[in-house]
Amino acid sequence: MKLSPRATIITLLMIGLGAVPLIADGIDEPFYTVLFSRMLILSIGAVSLNLILGFGGMVSFGHAVYLGIGSYVVGIGTFHAVEDGVEWMGNGFIHIAIAVAASALAGLFIGAISLRTRGVYFIMITLAFAQMFYFIAVGNENYGGDDGLSLYTRSDFLGLFDLSNDNSLYYLNFFVLVASLYLTHRLTNSRFGKVIRGTKSNEQRMKSIGFPVYRYQLVAFVIAGAICGLAGVLSANQTDFVSPSVMHWTRSGDLIIMTVLGGIGTLFGPVIGAVAFLLLEELLSGVTEYWQLFFGPMLVLVVIFARGGIDGILVGLDRWWQNYFLKKKAEEN
Amino acid sequence: MNWVLLLEQTLNGFQFGILLFLLAAGLTLIFGIMDLINLAHGSLYMMGAYFAATFTQWTDSFLLGALLALPACMLFGIILETVALRTLYARSHLDQVLATFGLILFFNEFVRLIWGPIGLDIPLPEQLSGSVELFFGIRYPAFRLVIIVVGILTAFLLYLLVSKTKIGMLIRAGASNRQMVSALGVNINLLYTIVFGLGAALAGLAGLMAAPIMTVEIGMGEGILIITFVVIVIGGVGSIKGAFVAALIVGFIDTVGRSFLPDILGLFVSNDVADTAAPAISSMLIYILMALILAIKPQGLFPPKGA
């Protein structure tokens, strides 16, 4: 089987991501493991957002709220585990279970109301709900309020693996990312996914065929929230810190940027986007303190000129490659 | 219940509502007519405050500074529209959100570069820094009263402009049917630029009036922008009347909620619980209100006709 250039690049990217800790240890720069770990976590967030934004056409501007919920489950859990000695509250499996359940519930609540609306209303309502959760976190003085909570220990996985080792955490992140990509792949190609995608392209048509569009969208919304909640658990463990700023509205904006920058509605687009976003941030902020002065206008240019994002460029590369071979074949004949 | 405090907070809520209205009017017009979601509207508010701060320093007079900042904001908005936003009108909402989000990043950094990272304070002119006796010996800060008066005056002028003048007729026509207006031979691009300039001036006015009572700082437009979104969603996107009513409701609930919720909660639960829960709940109030209204009327209180 011959891989197209796009498939080659994406395969290399995934293999490269899998090998980061080995390379970082090899060149003795553990900093890279942490940087790429952040990329993986935000990739998971972007992949989950892509499920509703890219495949479902629901422009949710409050997706970071689930990152926050997941983070706070870990933050509050370990807080009680350390301060009050309640051991089970430090358990990672319980963190994951509660974070996923709580995010799904929040998604159900937000989605049930927001999905009654369309277009700009939907964008603004999801934003406003995220803001609401943000203020709950800010107002909650017991758990640090505005200043946030420092985690003195990471989630405890009963000796199965030790998260205090950055490499273990990295591979947990990598595993969750691959799992969520697989889930997205299965979902979007299932009957359920076809209804969701069909609704994006023409809602009226799907309704006329007889699909209860609202319910399908709500389920997708809840699944996306649950996956992102899991990313929140990982994020809290990665940064050893939880604060309302994880769900600041600009975080939701960042997730949208990653998804669109990489390629909206494609399987690997969000991963490419998250990696590109954080690499750009890293590079630009190394060059100048005022990096957003360049990043902002770049975003405008990407929106205006590069429809389809980076993955769109790769698709263009594929087409060029194919034409090149066809031409070559024609010349040979 | 402390009635003097209630009256004072009601006036504060009214004053906050007026600021929200100035922002919401521009935002809702821009959305209603150009179908553009402009996240950078909060940046215009911020620019208004920074312009006012600088011009006040130059002229040593807040009034002159404000009078200079207003056209500066309008010009700024017009340039922004012509250079960056014009290409976005035909694009999807997602593209607009992204591009204007990029503009926010740019403007925040731009302000940090020019004015530095530390917030500015604008001193109030002496005549306005005192307080005025309203009635029964109740005193209220003069400058907040000025905000209310200027705001109501602006709302009235806006009403005259939109409902009595030719340009207002075009704006209303544009809000209900864009294609038809341009098909009738109206220079729609010019109309767009005018509307955007108007919206920018209103946002700038809100910013420069807020400047002396809040700190002028980077990102000051973002928190209030999201509340403005709540306002126009509650009011019905595209409706100025809706924006006015919703702005006053939201301003009132937010302000009065913040100062009285601990007392009200204290009636039901212990004071300790009330004191810890109240700050979180009071900042949620307007979002709960929004959720309730949208659950009943998904198009907001005053959905524009023809939409």
Phi, psi of B291 (to 5 degrees): -60, -45
Helix B188-210 vs helix B3-34: angle between axes, to the nearest 10 degrees?
160
pLDDT in tens, A276-309: 999 998 888 888 888 888 888 888 888 778 778 8
Evaluate if residue B29 carries a pLDDT over 90: no
Helix A5-26 vs helix A269-287: angle between axes, to the nearest 10 degrees?
50
Taking the mean position of all CA atoms in its chain, how far away is CA B91? 25
Nearest chain A Cα to B91, which residue? A304
Which of B192, B180, B197, B228 lies closest to B88, judged by CA? Answer: B192
Query: Which carries the bigger pLDDT value, residue A215 or residue B2?
Result: A215
Task: Say how far apart CA B249 and CA B226 lie, in whole Å.
Answer: 15
Q: What is the pLDDT of residue A124?
A: 85
| The pair of three-digit structure tokens given for residue A14, joined into one six-digit string | 């995934």
Mean pLDDT over B158-182 rounds to: 83
Q: What is the pLDDT of residue A329?
A: 83
Mean pLDDT over A2-16 rounds to: 86
Of A119, A139, A295, the CB nearest to B279: A139
Evaluate if residue B47 carries a pLDDT over 90: yes
CATH code (residue A208): 1.10.3470
How many domains is chain A partitioned into structurally?
1
Identity at A306, one-letter amino acid code: A
* Contact residues on chain A for B102, CB-CB shorter than 8 A: 295-300, 303
pLDDT band for position B307 (cuts 50, 70, 90): very low
* Residue positions counted in chain A: 333
Query: Is any Cβ of chain B less than 8 angstroms from the Cβ of A300?
Result: yes
Evaluate if residue B225 carries a pLDDT over 70: yes
SS3 label, residue A127? helix
Helix B93-115 vs helix A119-139: angle between axes, to the nearest 10 degrees?
50
Evaluate if residue A152 carries a pLDDT over 70: yes
Burial class (CB in 10 A: 0-12, 13-18, 19+), A148: buried
Query: Is any Cβ of chain A less than 8 angstroms from the Cβ of B85?
Result: no
* Contact residues on chain A for B226, CB-CB shorter than 8 A: 127-128, 131, 249
Evaluate if residue B3 carries a pLDDT over 80: no
Interface test with A, best of B27, B112, B284 (most A CBs within 10 A): B284
Ranges A91-105, A231-245, B94-108, B182-196: which has the least confidence: B182-196
Query: Is any Cβ of chain A less than 8 angstroms from the Cβ of B263?
Result: no
* Contact residues on chain B for A299, CB-CB shorter than 8 A: 98-99, 101-102, 105
| The pair of three-digit structure tokens given for residue B83, joined into one six-digit string | 């250079």
Of B95, B106, B229, the CB nearest to A297: B106
Evaluate if residue A266 carries a pLDDT over 60: yes
Q: Mean pLDDT over all residues of chain A?
A: 89
CB of A104 within 8 A of CB of A85? no
Cβ-defined contact of B233 to A124 (cutoff 8 Å)? yes
Query: Is any Cβ of chain A less than 8 angstroms from the Cβ of B87?
Result: yes
Nearest chain B Cα to A130, which residue? B287
Contacts of B110 (CB under 8 A, 6+ apart): A293
Mean pLDDT over B90-100 rounds to: 88
* Contact residues on chain A for B288, CB-CB shorter than 8 A: 132
Q: What is the 3-state secondary structure (H, E, C) of B84-105?
A: HHHHHCCCCHHHHHHHHHHHHH
Query: Is any Cβ of chain B less than 8 angstroms from the Cβ of A14?
Result: no
pLDDT band for position A195 (cuts 50, 70, 90): very high
State the Rg of chain A over Cα.
21
Phi, psi of B127 (to 5 degrees): -60, -25
Query: Is any Cβ of chain A less than 8 angstroms from the Cβ of B284?
Result: yes
Cβ-defined contact of B298 to A116 (cutoff 8 Å)? yes
Nearest chain A Cα to B92, which residue? A119
CB of A262 within 8 A of CB of A298? no
In order, the DSSP letters of B248-269 are: HHHHHHHHHHHHHHHHHHHTTS
pLDDT band for position B305 (cuts 50, 70, 90): low
pLDDT in tens, A24-69: 888 888 888 899 999 999 999 999 999 999 999 899 999 999 999 9
Handedness of CA A317, A322, A327, A329 (dihedral sign): positive
Task: Say how far apart CA B280 and CA A135 lie, in whole Å.
Answer: 6
Evaluate if residue B86 carries a pLDDT over 90: no
Interface test with B, best of A65, A115, A120 (most B CBs within 10 A): A120
pLDDT band for position A144 (cuts 50, 70, 90): confident
Which of B39, B70, B202, B50 lies closest to B111, judged by CA? Answer: B50
In order, the DSSP letters of A285-321 are: HHH-TTTHHHHHHHHHHHHHH-TTHHHHHHHHHHHHH
pLDDT band for position A86 (cuts 50, 70, 90): confident
Identity at A321, one-letter amino acid code: W
Q: What is the pLDDT of residue A161?
A: 79
% of residues, chain B, pLDDT over 90: 27
Q: What is the pLDDT of residue B32?
A: 81
* Contact residues on chain B for A290, CB-CB shorter than 8 A: 109, 112-113
Mean pLDDT over B21-41 rounds to: 88
Could you give the C-alpha distances from A97 to A8, A68, A87, in angstroms and in order?
A: 36, 15, 16
CB of A86 within 8 A of CB of A80? yes
B216 beta partners: B120
Q: What is the pLDDT of residue B74?
A: 94
pLDDT band for position A182 (cuts 50, 70, 90): very high
Interstrand relation of A241-242 and A149-150 (parallel, antiparallel or unpaired): antiparallel
| The pair of three-digit structure tokens given for residue B186, joined into one six-digit string | 């109206």
Q: Which of residues 145-204 of B touch A (CB under 8 A)?
A: none
* Contact residues on chain A for B108, CB-CB shorter than 8 A: 292
| CB count in 10 Å sphere of residue B299 | 18
| Long-range contacts, stretch A292-297, CB < 8 angstroms, 24+ apart | A292/B105, A292/B106, A292/B108, A292/B109, A293/B106, A293/B109, A293/B110, A293/B113, A295/B102, A295/B105, A296/B102, A296/B103, A296/B104, A296/B105, A296/B106, A296/B107, A296/B109, A297/B102, A297/B106
What 8-state DSSP symbol labels residue B125? P
Mean pLDDT over B31-60 rounds to: 89
CA dihedral A48, A49, A54, A55 (to 10 degrees): 50
Nearest chain B Cα to A142, which residue? B276
Q: What is the pLDDT of residue B18?
A: 93
Taking the mean position of all CA atoms in its chain, how far away is CA B251? 11
Cβ-defined contact of B102 to A299 (cutoff 8 Å)? yes
Which phi-psi region, left, alpha or beta, contains residue A58 (left: φ > 0; alpha: ψ -120 to 50)? beta
Measured over all CA atoms, what is the biggest interatomic distance in chain B, rounded to whole angstroms? 67
Q: What is the pLDDT of residue A157?
A: 80
SS3 label, residue A156? strand
Evaluate if residue A76 carries a pLDDT over 60: yes
Q: Which of A140-144, B15-19, B62-66, B87-91: highest mean pLDDT?
A: B15-19
Mean pLDDT over A109-124 rounds to: 87
Give me the domain span that covers residue A207. 5-332
Evaluate if residue B267 carries a pLDDT over 80: no
Cβ-defined contact of B280 to A139 (cutoff 8 Å)? yes
Q: Mean pLDDT over all residues of chain B?
A: 85
pLDDT in tens, A205-215: 999 999 999 99
* Contact residues on chain B for A291, CB-CB shorter than 8 A: 109
Task: Say how far apart CA B228 and CA B108 lie, in whole Å.
Answer: 19
In this predicted complex, what is the ipTM?
0.84
Of A61, A127, A300, the CB nearest to B102: A300
Mean pLDDT over B53-67 rounds to: 87
Q: What is the pLDDT of residue B196?
A: 92
pLDDT band for position A1 (cuts 50, 70, 90): low
Mean pLDDT over A180-191 rounds to: 94
A91 beta partners: A156
